[in-house]
């Protein structure tokens, strides 16, 4: 089996979880880590690497590392586009943490670059690869709950407002929309497909200017719809429900990385409980997808295709416009290609 050599850009909390699952994944290794801080890169490599994992004190050094096949980008949202484009132009495949980019224009820039260069790119929407979600998808696609008509999902948590935390900083893409709402929107888009014909959004604001909680109604031209509710101030269960014409599927909390679904194939059905826990922390499944695509020479995932990412980004952009939220991409310094 060809070993896929991974690099990590942005050694933070999620990156640490991904590194842990990389170590559990056959045919994958953490070859390098890059940060704007050499000390942070070295500390991350020591804690999560293999002993041969290289630490780079700039992102450019990481992208120039010939022993890296794919770069996992885990920096704040506004830096994703610049880093992903630079990686793709360097011939590196990319797995970009969600939300894919801060803006729809940024997403198009990444997608256009990947397709123009024929290099693999995927959004790190781990939900789509969780075993319980995979099984739910098989069930509704087989017609076991009839024609799918709508989706409902919530995701809430309680966070103390901290202006220094990226979640509450507008310049870092903070707010519930990009941090939480992406999950139910992507889930609904996975189930219903395509792009909603209309989006209606309401929200409240934090004192820092980002959205604190929001609700979205997404409608499709054929009459199907989805609702999404997310919050930084309400510990909602985090459940999703897929409604069909003859039954429904409950994806039990937390739906974005579930272990259990309950399938009701008829109105009077007591329901079939199916438990399918993820491997490790749950990131190994998207890692496996990237590795398989690279070994097979594919430039897109069929489970998380780039068109789906663009559809989701379009919903978030429309919601942001309605709510008066302004997001922007950030140019990452030092990404100019090396001279040959």
- The first and second tokens of residue 194, run together, are 């395509």
Active site residue 92: no
- Burial 33-53, CB ≥16 within 10 A → b, else e: bbbbeeebbbebbeebbeeeb
Tokens of 174: 């903070």
SS3 of the chain = CCCEEEEEECCCHHHHHHHHHHHHCCCEEEEEEECCCHHHHHHHHHHHCCCCCEEECCHHHHHCCCCCCEEEECCCHHHHHHHHHHHHHCCCEEEEECCCCCCHHHHHHHHHHHHHHCCCEEEECHHHHCHHHHHHHHHHHCCECECEEEEEEEEECECCCCCCCHHHCHHHCCCHHHHHHHHHHHHHHHHHCCCCCEEEEEEEECCCCCEEEEEEEEECCCCCEEEEEEECECCCCCCEEEEECCCEEEECCCCCCCCEEEEECCCCCCCEEEECCCCCCCCHHHHHHHHHHHHHCCCCCCCCCHHHHHHHHHHHHHHHHHHCCCCCCCCCCCCCCCCC
Q: Which of 80, 98, 254, 264 does the annotation list as catalytic?
A: 98
Distance CA 4, CA 81 (A): 23
Annotated catalytic sites, by residue? 98
């Amino acid at each position: 089996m060809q070993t896929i050599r991974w690099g990590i850009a942005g050694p933070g909390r999620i990156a640490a979880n991904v590194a842990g699952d990389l170590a559990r994944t056959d045919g994958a290794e953490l070859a390098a880590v890059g940060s704007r801080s050499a000390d942070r890169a070295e500390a991350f490599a020591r804690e999560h690497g293999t002993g041969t994992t290289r630490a780079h004190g700039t992102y450019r050094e990481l992208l120039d590392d010939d022993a890296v096949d794919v770069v996992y980008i885990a920096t704040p949202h506004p830096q994703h586009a610049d880093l992903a484009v630079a990686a793709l132009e360097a011939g590196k495949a990319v797995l970009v943490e969600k939300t894919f980019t801060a803006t729809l224009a940024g997403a198009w820039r990444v997608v256009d670059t990947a397709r123009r260069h024929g290099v693999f790119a995927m959004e790190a929407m781990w939900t789509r690869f969780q075993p319980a979600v995979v099984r739910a998808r098989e069930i509704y696609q087989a017609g076991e709950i009839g024609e799918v008509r709508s989706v409902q999902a919530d995701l809430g948590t309680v966070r103390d407002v901290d202006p220094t935390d990226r979640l509450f900083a507008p310049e870092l893409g903070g707010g519930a929309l990009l941090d939480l709402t992406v999950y139910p929107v992507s889930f609904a888009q996975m189930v219903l497909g395509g792009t909603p014909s209309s989006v209606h959004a309401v929200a409240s604001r934090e004192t820092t200017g980002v959205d604190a909680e929001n609700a979205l109604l997404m409608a499709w031209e054929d009459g199907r719809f989805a609702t999404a509710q997310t919050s930084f101030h309400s510990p909602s269960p985090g459940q999703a429900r897929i409604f069909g014409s003859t039954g429904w599927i409950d994806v039990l909390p937390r739906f974005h990385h579930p272990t259990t679904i309950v399938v009701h194939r008829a109105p009077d059905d007591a329901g079939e409980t199916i438990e399918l826990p993820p491997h490790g922390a749950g990131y190994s499944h998207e890692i496996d997808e990237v590795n398989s695509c690279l070994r097979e020479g594919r430039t897109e995932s069929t489970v998380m295709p780039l068109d789906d990412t663009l559809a989701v980004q379009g919903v978030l952009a429309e919601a942001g416009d309605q709510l008066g939220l302004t997001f922007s991409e950030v140019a990452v310094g030092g990404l100019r290609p090396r001279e040959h």
